């Protein structure tokens, strides 16, 4: 039996579920299909469980150090199993909220494996092994990506895992953990397990942590992490993992010198690959490159009426990017003027500027948007820089934050904001103002029009803007 819908969505993560809700609100008949639970990787095996663990670990760390605030907390400890239960409960509440929204909006949700056939038909094998067919006026692929493994001997051993496996496993407390990869996911989980008492080692191929971030922030973060006892080996290559009686032995080369270390587990955090396995029948000519689905400027694939968004098309692999692309595509399907700007905006320069915020939920938080000083120099963009160290910010003093600062980058001639980087509490919340400013081409003068409350972390933005107007540096 074949069921007809206006929109058939494959993948129920932040791209898929945003598209489903928006389409239903616009009057489309929608079915959304996922082989797993609603919410995709983000809610079930990524963003939400990671941030729940970060929150729990941060609270534990703060309780252990509360004496500096005049407080006493004796016998502070943690129950790892209860932390995992809190993590799982957070994800469950998110799923329950989505399921209610789907029901309220009349969205059909199907759990099963979907395969796209010709004539915009989708075959789904459900969990009960029933085969059903859906035909859509439009099909939207939002299947995301999966954690990538590396071709190194020993990757198949018990105890070697990706972040998805780690976040769905509630069994072990790791005394010694080696993390391969110094990107966002690896660093966030390093801080979690370090705070919970694990001995953590990070092995990173690049010459710095977070290679895409402002180098000053990377260096400061490394100083913070090493100060907390995390071992960091940059310019290093993991060569082999072998099983030992007491765990795993990792052999790696650090700046040309052979090293080895025994650990309980290895977390492989080296990026993600598009999730397209079994998605297309052999006679469906969807164009791909390096495993990613190729789309045009409007997110249509090589087949008319079939669109793809999010991690499955590559590019910036963030949940909020997939959600923005979802809203854009659905609005175009309904002949509406898109209400969202996708990733890049024109600037006063010949180079478009990214408005995608990047957030790192460490302690302190790190967030950035737009260009960095390093990128500006490479492109020959003249800048004026404003910086404010949080030492005398009222809220930073109250919380005894030691490492916070904000950096804002303005075009030297037009005064338009081109980039912002923050390292302080609430940075991940504050970066939205800077993304809005870049999207609207605001200048330092216009940013100064806004009054920011005292005492807040946010008032430091005004201080950084003022500093930029005093700074006469040019590149």
**What does the pLDDT look like over 178-228, one tens digit per residue?**
999 999 999 999 999 999 999 999 999 999 999 888 999 999 999 999 999
Structure tokens at 148: 């990538």
pLDDT confidence of residue 1: 64
- Considering the domain architecture, whether residues 308 and 260 belong to the same structural domain is answered as no
Q: Are residues 464 and 383 in the same domain?
A: yes
Residue 431 belongs to some domain of the structure: yes
pLDDT value of position 471:
55
pLDDT at 267: 96
How far is CA 125 from each of CA 119, 121, 130, 132, rounded to the nearest angstrom?
18, 13, 6, 7
Decide: residue 207, CB within 10 A, 0-12 exposed, 13-18 middle, 19+ buried: exposed
Residue 335 confidence (pLDDT)? 95
Residue whose C-alpha is closest to residue 163's, from 63, 87, 223:
87
Distance (Å, whole) CA 313 – CA 294: 6
Residues 442, 375, single domain; the answer is yes
**172 falls within a domain:** yes
Q: Would residue 338 count as lying in a domain?
A: no
Residue 59 lies in a domain: yes
Give catalytic residue positions: 454
Q: Are residues 121 and 195 in the same domain?
A: no
In a domain, 457, yes or no: yes
Examine the fold and report which residue of 290, 309, 333 is the final residue of a domain before the chain moves on: 333
Confirm whether 168 is domain-assigned.
Answer: yes
Out of 226, 250, 270, a domain closes at 270
Residue 61 belongs to domain with CATH number: 3.50.50.60
CATH number at residue 380: 3.30.390.30
Residues 123 and 93 in one domain: yes
* 138 shares a domain with 9: yes
Grouping H, G, I as helix, E, B as strand and the rest as coil, residue 58 is helix
Alpha carbon 69 to chain centroid distance? 33
Is the Cβ–Cβ distance between 375 and 383 less than 8 Å? Answer: no
- pLDDT value for 474: 45
**Domain check: are 142 and 238 in the same one?**
no
**Positive or negative, the Cα torsion across 407, 411, 414, 418?**
negative
pLDDT tens digits, one per residue of 10-68:
999 999 999 999 999 999 999 999 999 999 999 999 999 999 999 999 999 999 999 99
Same domain, 259 and 286: no
Residues 114, 247 within the same domain: no
Q: Are 416 and 441 in contact (CB under 8 A)?
A: yes
pLDDT of residue 475: 41
| 319 and 219, same domain (yes or no) | no
Residue stretches of the chain with pLDDT short of 70 = 1, 345-351, 471-475
Sign of CA dihedral 381, 382, 386, 389: positive
Residue 340 located in a structural domain: no
Q: Number of folded domains in the chain?
A: 3
In-domain check, residue 125? yes
Q: Are 457 and 398 in contact (CB under 8 A)?
A: no
**Are residues 126 and 208 located together in one domain of the fold?**
no
Last residue of one domain, picked from the residues 270, 299, 316: 270
Domain that holds residue 462: 345-470
Q: Are residues 142 and 282 in the same domain?
A: yes
Per-residue pLDDT, 473: 47
The pLDDT assigned to 157 comes to: 95
């Amino acid at each position: 039996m074949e069921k007809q819908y206006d929109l058939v969505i494959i993948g129920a993560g932040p791209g898929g579920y945003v598209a489903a809700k928006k389409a239903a609100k616009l009057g489309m008949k929608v079915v959304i299909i996922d082989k797993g639970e609603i919410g995709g990787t983000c809610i079930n095996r990524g963003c939400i469980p990671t941030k729940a663990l970060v929150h729990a670990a941060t609270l534990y760390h703060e309780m252990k150090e509360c004496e500096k605030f005049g407080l006493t907390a004796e016998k502070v400890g943690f129950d790892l199993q209860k932390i995992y239960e809190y993590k799982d409960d957070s994800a469950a509440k998110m799923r329950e909220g989505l399921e209610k929204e789907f029901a309220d909006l009349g969205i059909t949700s199907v759990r099963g494996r979907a395969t796209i056939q010709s004539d915009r038909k989708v075959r789904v094998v459900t969990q009960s092994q029933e085969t059903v067919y859906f035909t859509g006026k439009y099909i939207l692929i939002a299947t995301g990506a999966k954690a990538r493994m590396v071709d190194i001997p020993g990757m198949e051993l018990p105890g070697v895992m990706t972040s998805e496996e780690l976040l769905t496993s509630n069994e072990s407390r790791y005394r010694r953990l080696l993390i391969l990869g110094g990107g966002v996911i690896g660093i966030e989980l390093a801080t979690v397990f370090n705070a919970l008492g694990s001995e953590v080692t990070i092995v990173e191929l690049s010459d710095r942590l977070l290679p895409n971030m402002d180098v000053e922030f990377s260096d400061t973060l490394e100083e913070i992490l090493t100060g907390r006892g995390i071992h960091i080996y940059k310019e290093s290559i993991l060569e082999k993992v072998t099983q030992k009686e007491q765990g795993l032995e990792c052999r790696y080369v650090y700046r040309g010198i052979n090293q080895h270390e025994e650990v309980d587990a290895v977390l492989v955090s080296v990026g993600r690959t598009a999730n397209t396995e079994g998605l297309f029948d052999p006679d469906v000519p969807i164009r791909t490159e390096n495993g990613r689905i190729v789309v045009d400027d409007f997110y249509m694939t090589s087949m008319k009426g079939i669109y793809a968004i999010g991690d499955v098309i590559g590019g910036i692999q963030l949940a909020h990017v997939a959600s923005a692309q979802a809203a854009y595509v659905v609005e175009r399907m309904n002949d509406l003027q898109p209400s969202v700007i996708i990733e890049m905006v024109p600037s006063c320069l010949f180079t478009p500027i990214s408005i995608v915020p990047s957030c790192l939920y460490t302690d302190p938080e790190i967030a950035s948007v737009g260009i960095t000083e390093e990128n500006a120099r490479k492109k020959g963009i003249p800048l004026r820089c404003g910086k404010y160290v949080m030492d005398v910010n009222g809220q930073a003093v109250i919380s005894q934050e030691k490492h916070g600062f904000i950096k804002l980058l303005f075009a030297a001639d037009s005064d338009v904001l081109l980039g912002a980087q923050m390292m302080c509490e609430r940075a991940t919340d504050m970066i939205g103002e800077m993304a809005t400013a870049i999207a609207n081409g605001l200048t330092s003068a216009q940013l100064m029009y806004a009054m920011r409350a005292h005492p807040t972390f946010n008032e430091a933005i005004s201080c950084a803007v003022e500093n930029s107007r005093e700074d006469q540096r040019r590149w």
